[in-house]
Structure 1
């Protein structure tokens, strides 16, 4: 159990990451390759990634370099997931390269003591060996994660929209109380089901960065070192994927594949923006906007503008149509 202690200042400084964190997703996707747990939720990604890794002849790099550094265990070095990666992969890799040698050595000793480590790991205290590691992470990201970037962003966008609705309706307490079944808000403490030992994290006015993750499964993750910027990397909920061929579904036959997809996308979380609809349907933003307009005129969607975005949500008629479309014939 991880207990995160909030003050009023911490509640005011708590926020949700604007996009997937590339280095945290690298770590969690490697965990998915190491486990069959939750494999159903990533079946398509797992199959295509194994193929792409083989095509690029990266099996040895993944097996002998990356998996040993990011084991599915209670600990891996904090310096591999710096807070700077919130700004993108390049910023995160630069932060890894710039990590002071004493800190790298200290975390690697802890890693070896707690989990066990390959014999070569001590060489990461040197600049040359660390540069090679950065190249390996960059290559893996391009092969395994970049093809899934639109999907990850769409899911994180939907999560942010849902949490924003919680925040508007019930304030930060409602936001913290709706982060998933493994996280429970008992003011002023956030209780998190955690794979490691019992821990207490005191934010001390720094606030908490919440990072929703596509590849994180079941248990949230945080930094081991309490002096580092506080972060909670938590899993998005996954639903069984629909059948690949839905051409015979009544809803698709009635609306067409793209509009049926747009309607389903608007049903997720607290609605979907035009960009999220476009990513879900695989069309341009302008095309998604036109399809949403048709559905709105038919009384199936409602659209509201928030700042520079338009949020589309189901009307009762749209929700009823989706439910009817899911019923088996007869």
Structure 2
């Protein structure tokens, strides 16, 4: 179990990331690629990704074990601002940090495997090779699905924001997925090892992730800015659309976009705003509860809306595609 200890100052400084982190999604997707579980969600994605992968990933395989620790320098804070900025930060990693963190990958009482030892001692050329592998892998495994990943993280943020507005920081922490349990002032998380993290007034960034599964993930180095990466609840919801689970979003969107015509659905899409439950949506759009649910379902199939469960209700949020259509007036009658 992972136990994260909060002070009152830490609780006031909890933030929920507003976008996916490119490097965390890339590294965690590499775990999913080698994992045979969650076939319903990731089976087709694995097949499509392996078909596109024609580059070298042996260094990634050495640095990212199937389970357990992987070096913190693979996920710098710059990754939340995009893949290229994240890779620039990886390329700037100091040699002493590379040696310290890769040394932790050695089996107990043994030397590092040959490939890791070469990286450990290789200097800038090895970092360039790593950045090249990461970029190629990201383009094959993550980039084609990025709009869908982004929609899931934005929906998760909307749900956590709703919890914060409804009940404050305590409600926010209590609303996190079931593998995390808020027992104030400690957040307990399912975790591969027993560990305590003390925030010491620095607060915590909650980073929802599409490719994170089952357990939350945090950095090994307690001196780095605290971050907790956890599975976005949207992918765990019964409202999650199976047919969009592991495919590039565009393929499904354009098959169903033709359903989305007429003034009423334009009004309903606009009424969702920054997020709305079905009841709120019906009230804002001036339609019945059943009609609001039906219209939201069609727009979810078209990739314009994401739906996830929030307590006893469901919360609808507009995806990037839906927002783009609204900005361009493409959904008007």
TM-score, normalised on structure 2? 0.75
- Residue 298 (structure 2) aligns with: 261
Which segments of 5 or more consecutive residues in structure 2 lack a partner in the other structure?
A: 245-254, 262-294
User: 2:152–2:306: 8 Å Cα contact kept in structure 1?
Assistant: no
CA distance in 2 between counterparts of 1:75 and 1:288 reads: 48
Matched, 1:211 2:207: yes
- Give the C-alpha shift of residue 90 in structure 1: 1.7
User: 2:209–2:229: 8 Å Cα contact kept in structure 1?
Assistant: yes
- Residue 127 (structure 1) aligns with: 124
- Residue 233 (structure 1) aligns with: 229
1:223 to 219, 237, 240: 219
CA distance in 1 between counterparts of 2:215 and 2:199 reads: 20
- Residue 278 (structure 1) aligns with: 322
Residues 179 and 128 (structure 1), Cα distance of their counterparts in 2 relative to 1, 3 Å cut: same
CA distance in 2 between counterparts of 1:256 and 1:92 reads: 39
- Residue 10 (structure 1) aligns with: 10
Which segments of 5 or more consecutive residues in structure 1 lack a partner in the other structure?
A: 245-251, 295-330
TM-score, normalised on structure 1? 0.75
User: 1:266–1:277: 8 Å Cα contact kept in structure 2?
Assistant: no
Equivalent residues in 2 for 1:143-292 (5 A)? Answer: 143-195=140-192, 197-237=193-233, 238=235, 239=238, 241-242=241-242, 256=259, 260-262=297-299, 265=305, 267-269=307-309, 271-276=315-320, 278=322, 284-286=325-327, 290=331
CA distance in 1 between counterparts of 2:25 and 2:219 reads: 15
Residues 287 and 70 (structure 1), Cα distance of their counterparts in 2 relative to 1, 3 Å cut: same
Runs of 4+ in 1 over 2 A off after TM superposition: 113-118, 122-125, 237-244, 255-261, 263-277, 283-291
Provide the secondary structure at the position in 1 that maps to 2:142. Answer: helix
Calculate the aligned-residue CA RMSD, in Å. Answer: 2.7
| Residue-pair matches, total | 274
User: 1:41–1:241: 8 Å Cα contact kept in structure 2?
Assistant: no
- Residue 52 (structure 1) aligns with: 52
CA distance in 1 between counterparts of 2:125 and 2:242 reads: 46
CA distance in 1 between counterparts of 2:159 and 2:212 reads: 19
Residues 288 and 271 (structure 1), Cα distance of their counterparts in 2 relative to 1, 3 Å cut: farther
